[in-house]
């Protein structure tokens, strides 16, 4: 599978690393030149320095043969634009976007992003479930001790 990742920060770096290890063809677009060079060197993937909202760079990354575009920058507007370009202009089958501000998740859904990922909400839910589970375990332990 060919995957373009826009954003080479922590999320993009580790996503690219995992996908490349899984034998996928991975291209990364990153604005920061030093980070881009690090990704190319350490991960042995195509790393392009520049703005992922630029259609020319998306074409350089091979968007015409891409199965998935993952926009994981720290900017919701950029992530949304990237996914819109991928879907509307290049007919990419699947788009995934990092949602940095939970208040924006509805916009990603309404504008057709296939998989908007709100990491803040996911982490909050996991913590809530963990707390609830521990309360349940403590209650059951207490009841057995009667």
> Dihedrals φ, ψ of 131, to 5°?
-65, -45
Taking residues 79-90, report their average pLDDT.
Answer: 97
For 27-84, what is each residue's pLDDT tens digit?
Answer: 999 999 999 999 999 999 999 999 999 999 999 999 999 999 999 999 999 999 999 9
* Residue range of the domain that includes 69: 2-119
- Give the orientation angle of helix 10-21 with respect to helix 33-43, to 10 degrees: 20
How much is the mean pLDDT over the chain? 91
Residue 142 pLDDT class (50, 70, 90 cuts): low
Q: The domain that contains 6 carries what CATH number?
A: 3.40.50.720
At 124 the pLDDT is 80
Q: Determine, yes or no, domain membership for 144.
A: no
Residue 134 placed within a domain: no
Instruction: Give residues with Cβ within 8 angstroms of 6, minimum separation 6.
Output: 12, 28, 29, 30, 52, 69, 70, 71, 72, 73, 78, 79, 82
* pLDDT, tens digit (0-9, with 9 covering 90-100), for 94-137: 999 999 999 999 999 999 999 999 988 888 887 777 776 666 55
With respect to residue 88, please indicate whether it lies within any of the assigned structural domains: yes
Query: Taking the model in full, what pTM does it have?
Result: 0.86
Q: Is the pLDDT of residue 24 over 90?
A: yes
């Amino acid at each position: 599978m060919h995957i373009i990742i826009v954003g080479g920060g922590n999320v993009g770096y580790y996503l690219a690393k995992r996908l490349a290890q899984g034998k996928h063809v991975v291209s990364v677009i990153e604005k920061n030149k030093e980070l881009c060079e690090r990704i190319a060197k350490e991960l042995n993937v195509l790393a392009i320095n520049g703005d992922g909202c630029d259609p020319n760079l998306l074409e350089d990354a091979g968007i015409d043969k891409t199965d998935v575009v993952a926009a994981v920058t720290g900017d919701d507007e950029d992530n949304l634009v990237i996914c819109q370009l991928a879907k509307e202009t290049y007919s990419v089958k699947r788009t995934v976007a990092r949602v940095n501000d939970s208040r924006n998740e509805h916009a990603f859904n309404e504008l057709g992003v296939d998989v908007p990922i709100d990491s803040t909400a996911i982490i909050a839910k996991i913590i809530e479930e963990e707390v609830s589970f521990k309360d349940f375990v403590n209650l059951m332990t207490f009841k057995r001790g009667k």
